[in-house]
Amino acid sequence: EVQVVESGGTLVQPGGSLRLSCAASGFTFSDYYMDWVRQAPGKGLEWLGRVRNKPNSYTTEYAASVIGRFTISRDDSQRSLFLQMNSLKSEDTAVYYCIRVSGQKHSRAFDIWGQGTMVTVSS
């Protein structure tokens, strides 16, 4: 079965750090771009960032709201995606989704989503 499974969400204090992981299975992880999206309670979806694959030098893109605080990385040997979150704020409280991005430019889809992992930033 093609799937991605997030882990690592928990309660963390403001100013703290947290690392989320996403384990992929059922597909050739190294072939794909991977993204993170979050959803605050009762709110809409917010794209956070992307890491490209090896042929594209593992380059990254980020939303303005997380630049300098969040870092996306991947380990193709472990079929894993990571989201390192630093300097966490209450407004980072959300469900965080790991996503496989399929297709090519002008024909891409977020076709595989994880179930999400909840991060709560509170004292």
Partner 1 sequence: AIQMTQSPSSLSASVGDRVTITCRASQGIRNDLGWYQQKPGKAPKVLIYATSTLQSGVPSRFSGSGSGTDFTLTISSLQPEDFATYYCLQDYDYPLTFGQGTKVDIK
Question: Is residue 11 close enough to count as binding partner 1 by CB under 8 A?
Answer: no
The radius of gyration of the chain's CA atoms, rounded to the nearest angstrom, is 14
Phi then psi dihedrals of residue 67, to 5 deg: -60, 130
| Residue 52 CB-half CA count within 13 A | 11
56 lies in the site for partner 1, by CB under 8 A: no
User: Mask 90-109, x = binds partner 1 (CB under 8 A)?
Assistant: -------x-----x--xxxx
Of 9, 21, 47, 52, which lies in the binding site for partner 1, with binding defined by CB under 8 A?
Answer: 47
**Nearer to partner 1 by C-beta: 73 or 102?**
102
| CA pair distance 60, 53, nearest whole angstrom | 10
Taking CB under 8 A as the rule, does residue 22 contact partner 1? no
- Determine, following the binding rule CB under 8 A, whether residue 27 of this chain makes contact with partner 1: no
The pair phi, psi for residue 11, each rounded to 5°, is -90, 130
Q: Return the structure tokens found at 26.
A: 């059922």
User: ∠ CA(88), CA(91), CA(97), 5° rounding?
Assistant: 80
Question: DSSP letter at 65?
Answer: T
Give the residue, chosen from 7, 21, 61, 71, that forms a contact with partner 1 under the rule CB under 8 A: 61
Q: Which is nearer to partner 1, 44 or 55 (CB)?
A: 44
State the nearest-atom distance from the C-beta of 119 to partner 1, in Å: 15
Q: Which residues bind partner 1 (CB under 8 A)?
A: 35, 44-47, 50, 61-64, 97, 103, 106-111, 113-116
